[in-house]
Amino acid sequence: MKRTQHKRLIATQLPTTTHSQKEGHMRIKRQNQKGFSLVELMIVLVIIGILAAVGVPIYSANVTKAKMSEADATLGTIRTSLRVYYAENGVYPTVAADTEVGSAGIGIKATELDGKYFSASSFILVSTDSTYTITCSAGSILDSDRNLDQAGTFTGGVD
């Protein structure tokens, strides 16, 4: 046998792998891998970051609305008591400036005004025979004081 024929014979005797066999081998290797790749983890982190960037401002806005709702509800309760007082007496009670509502003599106990965000001491009443203004002190909860007058007009709270 000639030398070139010998090389051809050896080359034909070697096992050959086809493209589909290589894919099968890669598939088996891939199935045995456990965990996540760095790229997959980075994609998840980017998605979580986007959701947080969108979700946190929405959540904060809803918390602020809840605080305003509590202030408005309590101011409305105090207004109702003042209107009952006016219906029974023909005048609003004369209350000096910076008087807490619980000690204003309008039939509301201080403990009835305590809420999740505001305590009874947050609500201040100033009134004369014909007008009144109820103030919910902002403290660190609202941007500014929330007020309600005898006309039912709310002012302040969030700027």
Sign of CA dihedral 151, 125, 85, 67: positive
Q: Spell out the residues 6+ positions from residue 19 whose beta carbon is closer than 8 angstroms to its own.
A: none
Give ∠ CA 40-43-44 in degrees, rounded to 5. Answer: 90
* Residue 45, pLDDT above cutoff 90: yes
Sign of CA dihedral 67, 71, 76, 77: positive
Confidence (pLDDT) at 141: 78
What does the pLDDT look like over 27-40, one tens digit per residue? 655 566 678 889 99
Confidence (pLDDT) at 31: 63
Instruction: Kindly compute the dihedral angle of the four CA atoms of residues 93, 98, 102, 106, in this order, to the nearest 10 degrees.
Output: 10
Confidence (pLDDT) at 2: 59
Query: What is the pLDDT of the chain when averaged over all its residues?
Result: 81
Confidence (pLDDT) at 107: 83
CA separation for the pair 67, 73 (Å, rounded): 10
pTM: 0.65
CA separation for the pair 104, 126 (Å, rounded): 9
Give residue 103's Cα distance to chain centre.
35
How far is it between the farthest Cα atoms of the chain?
A: 130
CA separation for the pair 112, 150 (Å, rounded): 21
